[in-house]
Structure 1
Amino acid sequence: MTSNAAKWFPPAPTTPKPTLKVYNSLTRQKEEFIPAAGNLVKWYNCGPTVYDASHMGHARNYVTQDILRRIMEDYFGYDVHLVMNITDIDDKIILRARHQYLIDDLKKRNPLLNQELIDMTQDSWEKYLKGKVLKSIPSAELEAQSSHLAAQWQYVQARVLDPSWLQEALQRDEKFSMHITTLETSFSALEVARMQMNAGSSSETAAATLIDKSKDTLALVLDEELKHTVSDPAIFRSTAAFWEDSFMADMARLRVKPPTTLTRVTEYVPEIVTFIEKIIANGFAYSGEDGNVWFDKAAFDGAPTQEWKHEYAKLAPWSRGNKALLAEGEGALTSYSSKRSPEDFALWKASKAGEPAWPSPWGQGRPGWHIECSVMATDILGESMDIHSGGIDLLFPHHDNELAQSEAYHNNVQWVNYFLHTGHLHIAGLKMSKSLKNFITIEEMLETWTPRQVRLSFLLQLWNSRLDWNESLQTEVKARETALDNFFVQTKALVSEWDAAPTPQNGTWKYGKDEKDLAAELYRAQHTFRTALCDSFNTPQAVQALNDLVSYTNVYLKRGRSATNISSIRQVAGWITKMLRMFGLGEGSPQEIGWGASTSASGGEDVSADKETVLMPYLRALSTFRDEVRKKAMAKDPHSEFLELTDRLRDEDLVPLGVALDDQEDGKALVKLMPPSVLIKARDDKKALLAAKAAQKAAQKAAAAQQQLAKLEKGKLSPEEMFKPPNVPEGTYSEWDAKGIPVLDGKGEELSKGQSKKLAKAWEEQAKRHDAWLAHLSQREGQSKE
């Protein structure tokens, strides 16, 4: 530093920069996020078990995790290495592959409907009824009916209609309703098959239909009898590969970025064996005579390390000993004969007949569910990681078991620094469950929602809170999306027009108070946005900041095009575009305003930048010509046929082409490119509204005319006759004057002055009404002659 350098005072921030904090399931509170390796974030995300179609629960988890990843990478600027696994060895995959293989084989062996197939289906139906339904009903309740299955089935069907009875059954077995549906479907199929057999029908379609509708009952019987015949490893791998491809396709449709590294369990079996051997050597696992290897929870929990003590079930200590969760974590095919404690879990499972197998020191077997993640994450990310994520349903036992076995292997006490668990997804108030068949596949969902709307719906909810999927959510999402659509169409058209010809008519260079206020609003929104994301990725608050800025800017735009500073608009719309794309809600060039070239969320056609570049010069020339014709027509005659032609060009000719001419206050239309379907709907809605208003006006006019006519008709009666019979009762009056006003009552007595005055006043009023009636008749007669 030179001696003559000016003294410099470090600036003191008036508004501190927010610090990123995330909700950590390990501590159950928000913690400051501190990556262990500088700017590198090592992240492991539990992938899917691929045995069926991807559903809304998958969308909730993986789209949400994708949003968090994009925020970390594209907003906070971290270098993220995201590892995700594919579970392609699992009890569910084995059962699904085996069942499907046996069902397909049954179809091949029974190309035509036959009595043996019907008998077999009936037998499987009865076994399913006994094993899945009747066991959940108190025996005394059934004994009061009959020993015959048919009678007991009829009793169950009748009782299911009683909500309180059904609720009790569901408490005993949450899958009770699913079992009833399975039996009813198969029962109906059996009745149809018997009628077809009696009618002599034995088509290939009939046999396949019976098998398909009864596959859930048939598969259990077939598996029990024939599972030992399913030995080809390709059967299990092909099932997993098929559903993996399906999952990846669904994720691509939802615009979920691929992981940095993708791993599969089948590619890591040797490493898993080595990993288990070290856990055994460290004293935290044991092998049984049956070939299973178990994690020794008792040996691990409380065991000292160099830093601290090992602790089991850090994430969900309240779930320790939960038999249902522990059993679900082990899988339906696990053998427990060599297990020492209920809380011990399988690291390696001895393979039985009908299961894939790999060599190991403990015999032919396959990995347990939990061990795969520990091995693959360790291989890619090392002995610790910054983030581990997954659905909240994996909290216990999966993630707690992962932690235990990994810390047993590495002999450390914090294998993961931050656990991020996405919240449950509920449909119509009920937790979605594939096992209960209460789920919507991603393919089904995308029939009524666009990928953008799905992502936006998740952004409107906290990532770790419960999400209720219902119609009101879709209504809110569409309203938010429409507001952004309209904003982008308007601002994009203004910016595009200015770039084509920056003239005072297209905007102003002036940067006055309104522009300063708009800039201040932008800076407030940017600070609110950052504060929200730093608060454990509070995307609902961040999206609201964008919506508030859009609303404020729309008010500014109402001043009119000639009073709009395009540079200010470009800055606001550009930042909103950038943030939405950061969330994964659009794509395109960084300079382009709006969603980009992706499909419109409103279901309309793509409006690409290339299309705009090619068409806009021609459309502006056409619009300018129309502006001049319209201006001259309005000056001469507001109802000119030329003016009608300019309106027809705007409302009829250009709308189906996706071109909107938005007439402005300066007489020059703003040209916009929009999906034709959106424009057509807006035009038709406007027509319908105008027609409704016209009909209402006509109805009001008709009602007023009817009221006027009713009022005029009161004057039909001549005032000279109004006090004489039959217009008054006979004998009311006995003498009248020349005008017909009574002077004597019915008894011949003179009327009082008050009565006479009152009658005279009534006569004068009727005379006026009668004159009006005569005038009305005269006018109507004149109109009829014309």
Structure 2
Amino acid sequence: MAETKTSTPPSSGGIAVFNSLKPGAPVPFVTREDGSVSWYSCGPTVYDLSHMGHARNYVSTDVIRRILMHYFDLKVNFVMNITDVDDKIIIKARRKRLYDLEREKPYTPAQRHALATAAFLAYAHANLPLLEVAGDSPLDELNYLARRDAAYGTVLTGGVLPTTEGGKPGDAEAKTKMHVANMDAAARGLQTGSVFDDAEEILLPYLDSLYKETIDTSDQTMFTDLTKSMEKLFTDDMDALNVLPPDSITRVTEYVPQIVEFIDGIIAKGFAYEANASVYFDIDAFEKAGNTYARLRPESKNDKALQEEGEGSLSKSLAGKRRPGDFALWKKSKPGEPFWPSPWGNGRPGWHIECSVMASDKLGEQMDIHSGGIDLAFPHHDNELAQSEAYFYRPGHGEHSWVRYFFHMGHLSIAGSKMSKSLKNFQTIQDALATTYTARSMRIVFMLSRWNDGLEISPDMRKQASSFENTLDNFFTNVKARLAEAGVSSGLQKLSLGETVEAKSSLAAEFEQAKADLDAALRSSFDTPAALQVILRLVRNANVSMSEPSADLSTIEAVARWVTKIAGVFGLDPNAQPPYESSLGWGPANPTASAAGGAGGIADPKVAVQPYSGVFAKVKGDVAALGLTTEVALNTLLAELRPDAEFALLEKELDDNNNNGRYDIERLALPFLRAVSSLRDELRRVVTNPDNKDKKAAVLALSDRIRDYDLVELGVQLDDQPDRPSLIKFVPVAKLVAAREEKAAAVAEKARLKEEAQRAREKAEEEKWAKAKTPPQDLYRNNTADFSAWDADGLPTKLADGSDVPKTQSKRLKKEWDRQKKLHESYLEKFGSA
């Protein structure tokens, strides 16, 4: 339909990216000659459900990956690890085992209370020390609330801890609130006796401190059962978010022999040492050889808190380090921890070494991109870099570069604190998709912010995302309806990114500018906020053009197909497949098991159109039953409509075009829908004929039913147009039903308000005549609390204390008396004598 010029796809040259290895402005992204890109992404530590913070990380990563692959046409080899052995996993699995064992013990209520009390006091001592100094008597569940409010009331109402600088609550305050919540539940459990139900969070660490060394970890199923189940849930979450699966997945437990070999290699080069059956990286030796440590975060190099966090919860027991900053490559396993054999004794990998080994195994000595959350920059990624560059170090060859570009995704925060499992201030992905978001709406929200910026989702962002989605939704629906109305059956079919449209209208010029602007945005470190604005601006211009009498449908279709393709590139259509050129518009907002129906087509056209042909038959019968025998045009229409014949011709045409048994259900349904719409349009004309006033109510009711019920259940919306056939639109049933219910609710509310106003008027009228019934002479006579004497007309002359009524008050009383006189006269005139 539209004339196009073919040009080459967007070149991958000229891309600039934010690179954490070179902070500041974006730097050129230099691709390999063969267009390949190697990428390692730090995956999850699988010990709990994934939350919105994970979604922000992995969805943002997915958007960039899709842009590189499907916009810049690069061949991305994407590797992601699964951390399935880690301090958090060990502790959670072990504590769960100990907790289950403890519940099975035959405790008396007194014994359970004593156990929980000990755990209660230990938890307070370790995490909420101010509780111990907030009163004179020992802490217990009875005085806990008063102690809590005295010690931490300020934090609980949005304030900060005394040690917090800057006056703004952050992670420390979030952690305090988490600990308080755990203590609140435990205090309730101690008072009600439901210790194991309410006090679990304080019992877990206490039981671990008592019995962790008694657990037999030679059977590692306690750990693997947890990690396998959590990995499956993580994968399900990623599928639900339309995140592309990795090309390769690596797991720590599958790489332990390679990790041991890798560590041995680092020791052989003099950059690591063994101490007390553990192995530590020697930062001093590494730097003396001319290498740089903490290249990502040099300012954090001596941050003790981050160092300890990087070593994990067991860092304090790692003895033998030569310097505080040296980090563990191999940890000696203690009782209660899983273990593997090594030259240094039974132990387990340090946290950082896993990624170095797995990434190097899959991608070699150097990778193009390494990515992860910004919280991993130091020490995790800095330690990865150091140990990997130590392993590949060659004397005399200078410093090895293991990673060319480091991408760090910004935090998702809640009230100033990062969303994290450890702070328990998160919403799980499952809950978010069940209650608040679709895969599409969540992705749009994340794309409204740059991938490397911190993000705190606000109501305004949610509103922006909803507006963007609705704008594109309506645009696609209207374009398809206009093309169908104009009888356009084939059109462009597809529009590649590099094609240009002949400049027949101002929209064509705006379209070419939009393509250039979007290309510039994506080359500027994948600037999705700018890209979404480009799309929004183009769609709004196209909507204006579409409303014009001489709309340039060829360019409008080209715009719609291009926007469809870009939405596919961004992953906004969970059911679309690259190269995203075979359809116009997007499908359901969440991934579905099957794309059958809708734009995806359906294999048996006769079965597919039965709901539409059924509605036509029903409407035709109901219109005939109205008995409008004098309406010649209507009865001619009833006699001549042959949608079945039109459908048969269309089916044959599609067969002749070799559709491989797949059909566009919307197109096949149009003959029946046009027939229904034409009958309804004629009913709208008939109802204006004064000769049919006795059947007006029935005609209107049928017309409304066809529009609001018969067609809504098919996912079809009719837009009435003056002097033109109604516009047929395909809209999701749920959306139409919601609109119908909203309209019905608005009508009901209007009726309710009208009824309330009527009742108020009636009440006011009733109160008016009740007051009017009183003669003016009796208006003040019964008010003995304020007055003690009255004249012949009933006007007060003396106040209650016997003094004269002041002149100003007397004037006011006389005015009210005069009003009552007129009102009473009206009453007598209306109702007769009182």
Cα distance, 1:107 vs structure 2: 2.3
Contact 2:12–2:74, Cα closer than 8 Å, also in 1: no
Matched, 1:167 2:152: no
Which blocks of at least 5 consecutive residues in structure 2 are unaligned? 1-7, 166-171, 394-398, 492-500, 602-664, 762-792, 794-825, 830-834
What SS does structure 2 have at the residue aligned with 1:571? Answer: helix
Query: 1:470-504, CA deviations, whole angstroms, 9 ceiling, x for partnerless residues?
Result: 3232222112111111111111222344456699x
Query: 1:396-435, CA deviations, whole angstroms, 9 ceiling, x for partnerless residues?
Result: 0000001100100011431111111011111244322321
Distance 1:703 1:92 in 2: 66
Cα distance, 1:378 vs structure 2: 0.5
Contact 1:627–1:667, Cα closer than 8 Å, also in 2: no
Distance 1:599 1:91, change over 3 A: closer
Counterpart residue number, 2:738: 681
Equivalent residues in 2 for 1:437-516, closer than 5 Å: 437-446=424-433, 447-498=435-486, 515-516=504-505
Counterpart residue number, 1:596: 587
Equivalent residues in 2 for 1:335-354, closer than 5 Å: 335-354=317-336
Distance 2:548 2:689 in 1: 24
Matched, 1:402 2:384: yes
Distance 2:675 2:139 in 1: 85
Matched, 1:274 2:269: no
Residue range with higher mean Cα deviation, 493-502 or 290-299: 493-502
What SS does structure 2 have at the residue aligned with 1:455? Answer: helix
Counterpart residue number, 1:619: 673
Aligned residues: 660
Distance 1:637 1:64 in 2: 64
Residue range with higher mean Cα deviation, 443-452 or 650-659: 650-659
Distance 1:396 1:267 in 2: 25
What SS does structure 2 have at the residue aligned with 1:337? Answer: coil
Distance 1:154 1:690 in 2: 50
Distance 1:91 1:701, change over 3 A: closer
Identity %: 43
Contact 1:634–1:643, Cα closer than 8 Å, also in 2: no
Distance 1:159 1:434 in 2: 28
The match for 1:300 among 286, 290, 298 is 286
Distance 1:567 1:626, change over 3 A: same
Cα distance, 1:245 vs structure 2: 0.9
Matched, 1:415 2:402: yes
Counterpart residue number, 2:768: none
Matched, 1:264 2:256: no
Matched, 1:543 2:532: yes
Cα distance, 1:680 vs structure 2: 3.1
Distance 1:113 1:516, change over 3 A: farther
Distance 2:68 2:390 in 1: 30
Residue range with higher mean Cα deviation, 230-239 or 310-319: 230-239
Matched, 1:577 2:572: no
Q: Which has the larger Rg?
A: 1
Which blocks of at least 5 consecutive residues in structure 1 are unaligned? 1-12, 194-208, 305-309, 504-511, 705-729, 731-772, 778-786
What SS does structure 2 have at the residue aligned with 1:468? Answer: coil
Distance 1:21 1:153, change over 3 A: same
Contact 1:378–1:384, Cα closer than 8 Å, also in 2: yes
Equivalent residues in 2 for 1:122-141, closer than 5 Å: 122-134=117-129, 141=133
Query: 1:112-160, CA deviations, whole angstroms, 9 ceiling, x for partnerless residues?
Result: 86432232222222222223222x56x8x45x72356568745522314
Distance 1:700 1:558, change over 3 A: farther
Cα distance, 1:702 vs structure 2: 13
Counterpart residue number, 1:245: 232
Distance 1:47 1:462 in 2: 21
Counterpart residue number, 1:506: none
Contact 1:227–1:353, Cα closer than 8 Å, also in 2: yes
Distance 1:125 1:413 in 2: 52
Distance 1:17 1:75, change over 3 A: closer
What SS does structure 1 have at the residue aligned with 2:336? Answer: coil
Distance 1:17 1:128 in 2: 56
Matched, 1:99 2:87: no
Counterpart residue number, 1:330: 311
Distance 1:279 1:119 in 2: 51
Distance 1:532 1:491, change over 3 A: same
Distance 1:150 1:624 in 2: 74
Counterpart residue number, 1:741: none
Matched, 1:44 2:40: yes
Matched, 1:434 2:421: yes
Counterpart residue number, 1:197: none
Cα distance, 1:384 vs structure 2: 0.3
Cα distance, 1:161 vs structure 2: 5.6
What SS does structure 1 have at the residue aligned with 2:314? Answer: coil
Matched, 1:156 2:132: no
Contact 2:240–2:591, Cα closer than 8 Å, also in 1: no
Distance 1:94 1:501, change over 3 A: closer
Cα distance, 1:658 vs structure 2: 2.2
Contact 2:712–2:736, Cα closer than 8 Å, also in 1: yes
Matched, 1:66 2:62: yes
Distance 1:690 1:237 in 2: 58
Which amino acid letter does the alignment assign opposite residue 390 of structure 2?
Answer: A
Counterpart residue number, 1:671: 728
The match for 1:32 among 28, 37, 55 is 28
Counterpart residue number, 1:10: none
Counterpart residue number, 1:363: 345
Cα distance, 1:670 vs structure 2: 1.7
Counterpart residue number, 1:225: 210
Distance 1:688 1:365, change over 3 A: closer
Cα distance, 1:598 vs structure 2: 5.0
What SS does structure 1 have at the residue aligned with 2:512? Answer: helix
Cα distance, 1:230 vs structure 2: 3.3
Distance 1:690 1:490 in 2: 26
Instruction: With the length of structure 2 as denominator, give the TM-score of the two structures.
Output: 0.73
Residue range with higher mean Cα deviation, 667-676 or 398-407: 667-676
Which amino acid letter does the alignment assign opposite residue 277 of structure 2?
Answer: G
Cα distance, 1:663 vs structure 2: 2.1
Cα distance, 1:216 vs structure 2: 1.9
Contact 1:18–1:531, Cα closer than 8 Å, also in 2: no
Which amino acid letter does the alignment assign opposite residue 318 of structure 1?
Answer: E
Distance 2:322 2:457 in 1: 43
Equivalent residues in 2 for 1:285-296, closer than 5 Å: 285-288=272-275, 290-296=276-282
Contact 2:68–2:76, Cα closer than 8 Å, also in 1: yes
Distance 1:236 1:188, change over 3 A: same
Residue range with higher mean Cα deviation, 417-426 or 212-221: 212-221
Distance 1:516 1:493 in 2: 21
Counterpart residue number, 2:180: 180
Cα distance, 1:697 vs structure 2: 10
Which amino acid letter does the alignment assign opposite residue 518 of structure 1?
Answer: L
Query: 1:378-398, CA deviations, whole angstroms, 9 ceiling, x for partnerless residues?
Result: 001000011110000001000
Query: 1:503-538, CA deviations, whole angstroms, 9 ceiling, x for partnerless residues?
Result: 9xxxxxxxx999521111111111110000101110
Distance 2:490 2:687 in 1: 27
Contact 2:11–2:72, Cα closer than 8 Å, also in 1: no
Distance 1:499 1:72, change over 3 A: farther
Counterpart residue number, 2:292: 311
Counterpart residue number, 1:378: 360
Contact 2:116–2:203, Cα closer than 8 Å, also in 1: yes
Query: 1:621-658, CA deviations, whole angstroms, 9 ceiling, x for partnerless residues?
Result: 22233334444655777977346643442234322432
Cα distance, 1:554 vs structure 2: 0.8
Cα distance, 1:179 vs structure 2: 1.9
Residue range with higher mean Cα deviation, 233-242 or 153-162: 153-162
Instruction: With the length of structure 1 as denominator, give the TM-score of the two structures.
Output: 0.77
Cα distance, 1:210 vs structure 2: 2.6
